[in-house]
Amino acid sequence: MASMMRSGTAIRPGGAGVRVGMRSVGSIEGCDQAPSAEGDLRDLALDHVRFGLCVFDSRGKLVMYNRAFESLYNLDDGGLYVGMSVIELIELRCAAGTGPNMAAADYARMREEAGLAGQAYDAEVTLRNGRVHVIHNEPTPGGGWVATVEDVTERCLAEARVRHMAHHDALTGLANRSLFTERLEHALVALRSPRSHEPDDWTPEADGPEAAAIEDPLLAVMFLDLDDFKIANDTLGHAGGDEILRQVTRRIAHCLRGRDTVARLGGDEFAILLEDLHSPEQASDVARRVIDAVSEPILLDARVSRIGVSVGITICSRLDADAEPALLLRQADVALYQAKSEGQSTYRFFQDGMHAALARHHEAERQLRRALANGDLELHFQPIVTLDRRRIIGAEALLRWRHPEHGMMPTAEFVALAETSGLIGELGAWALRTGCAQAARWPDVRLAVNLSPVQVRQPGLVEQVTEVLAATGLPPHRLELEITEGLLLHDSLATLATLSGLRALGIGVVLDDFGTGYSSMSYLRRFPFSKIKVDRSFVANMSSDVGATAIVEAVATLGQRLEMRVCAEGIETEAQAKLLSAMGCQEGQGYLFARPCPADAFEALLSFDRGSHTSH
């Protein structure tokens, strides 16, 4: 009963019907009974493919299957036979413990209707035993379908581990900045929706206003910084400091509801997101509880340590829900600065009277506008090299602002300033145009230019890039545009359409800072990126963090399987370069090879590189 029928009609995707010889299990209408050497060979081939295969006819009856199909569903005991219906097959699987994680009849009806619809489709199905299968259905001529089944459980588990490591702090297990920002964005969207909110109780004994529906909910963003942590860290050592951070994490979490988000932003800085508040006083209560909990003595290696925590709070109502997460975090940070300045272990709300810091922000914005108009911005170029031969194959264009009074300004600061002030589109267009004009003078090396999410979401990007290439004469295949994972979280259809338009021009589209975003794994399968760039934070921690090493190795393997180049950023040591090359990363950049430099210095590096490789 476990052997296969003699023949049936299957379809190769995009091809004509082919006769597939199988071992006979009995007579069924339309089947050839004469054995053949060719049929035996096909039997052998089909029984040795790693994925399961089965074929149903136009009546929804099983026509053929291979041994892998039996094994995937634990049906090796002979219960499977040609001619059984879909529902009979599903019931057999349920008896074997490999049925779908839903009602058998409902699943069978869904599969049969989809199979007979005459359209190819893919489905990911979780079985009752926890395994995950990807099923691909392909219609056959005259009705019926061919289904292939692949067990992707291990891949799903690996991807889940990578996603968790990429979005959580390795030391404390808390959300990191990326995940906190994502949840804050979702909270702002929910706040804008006109509905009542049903909050969870603050404590087991809470009742009264906290338990009532909230017609006009608020949310709070809290920025926390530990007091005197540096002293404790220097006294106890880094291991002791790490344990203090873990204990502080548990104490903060104990003060919150299950639905609240607490994140470690870095060092001794934390953030808390509180949703569905009915008044700012609730945020005050949380702040007081956190301050009291953290200030309790910490016993570590028979030594008692005491630290405190200062808290800045900003409140957001539905009227303010269009605010950007970065603005709310900045307001909470300003409030934290005020709390610190007034004494430790206290909290302060952001108020308009605290606008001294924001006034400086506006002045910096004005100066950036002037710098853009006066040509005070520069592009520096950091070489991208092959890790095997160390040959320069490209350069990443990096913005620099040489301030007339303060010198070279930190790039992260003024780019963030440009994003919040609406200057990023103009700034990005300048960088693209200037970089392409410069790269057109070089020999055959690629130019990588960073695109902000704002640029990609703005209409007309494909047309803008087309015009720049035409004006500068840079061939499209020598331009790479880098995007970050955060871009993929929003407006996915519009985003993918824009990226597809860029790829259609012959331009490379690179996924930058891979592993720090939220959900890019699925997009790697949906969009043909030309390159993946491993974030520098993972490269820096490879020697001390097995999680970072696992992420880098997983990304390198993923790139190879998806035929995408992999570039590692932030390489500073020869050991890192060799390990990355061994993992399968083809390209790299970092201080080990060269720091970002002006165009003339890069051209000198390029000339030396070409001469060096020619002489060899």
Beta bridge partners of 449: 397, 481
Helix axes 355-374, 424-439, angle to 10 degrees: 30
**Mean of the pLDDT values across residues 246-255?**
96
Which residues lie closer than 8 Å to 205 by C-beta, 6 or more apart?
A: none
Pick 15 or 482 by higher pLDDT. 482
Residue 382 identity: Q
**Mean of the pLDDT values across residues 473-493?**
80
pLDDT given for residue 454 in this prediction: 74
Q: Where are the domains of the chain?
A: 7-151, 170-201+208-350, 362-606
pLDDT band at 75 (very low <50, low <70, confident <90, very high): very high
CATH number of this structure's domain 362-606, picked from the four choices 3.40.50.720, 3.40.50.1820, 3.20.20.450, 3.40.430.10:
3.20.20.450
Of the listed ranges 49-63, 192-206, 412-426, the one predicted with least confidence: 192-206
pLDDT given for residue 174 in this prediction: 95
pLDDT given for residue 31 in this prediction: 41
pLDDT(28) > 60: no
Pick 574 or 40 by higher pLDDT. 574
**Mean of the pLDDT values across residues 159-177?**
88
Homologous superfamily (CATH) for 7-151: PAS domain (3.30.450.20)
Pick 551 or 37 by higher pLDDT. 551
The answer to whether the CB of 593 falls within 8 A of the CB of 396 is no
Residue 447 identity: L
pTM strictly above 0.85: no
Kindly report the number of other CB atoms within 10 A of residue 122's CB atom. Answer: 9
Residue-wise pLDDT for 276-316, tens only, equals 999 999 999 999 999 999 999 888 877 778 889 999 999 99
pLDDT given for residue 12 in this prediction: 30
pLDDT given for residue 110 in this prediction: 83
Homologous superfamily (CATH) for 170-201+208-350: Reverse transcriptase/Diguanylate cyclase domain (3.30.70.270)
| Dihedral angle, C-alpha 539, 545, 547, 551, nearest 10 ° | 10
pLDDT(355) > 80: no
d(CA 554, CA 160): 12
Which residues lie closer than 8 Å to 241 by C-beta, 6 or more apart?
A: 229, 232, 233
Give long-range contacts, CB 8 A cutoff, 24+ apart: 263-267: 263/169, 263/174, 263/175, 263/176, 263/177, 263/179, 263/180, 264/169, 264/171, 264/172, 264/174, 264/175, 264/176, 265/176, 265/177, 265/180, 266/177
Pick 492 or 502 by higher pLDDT. 502
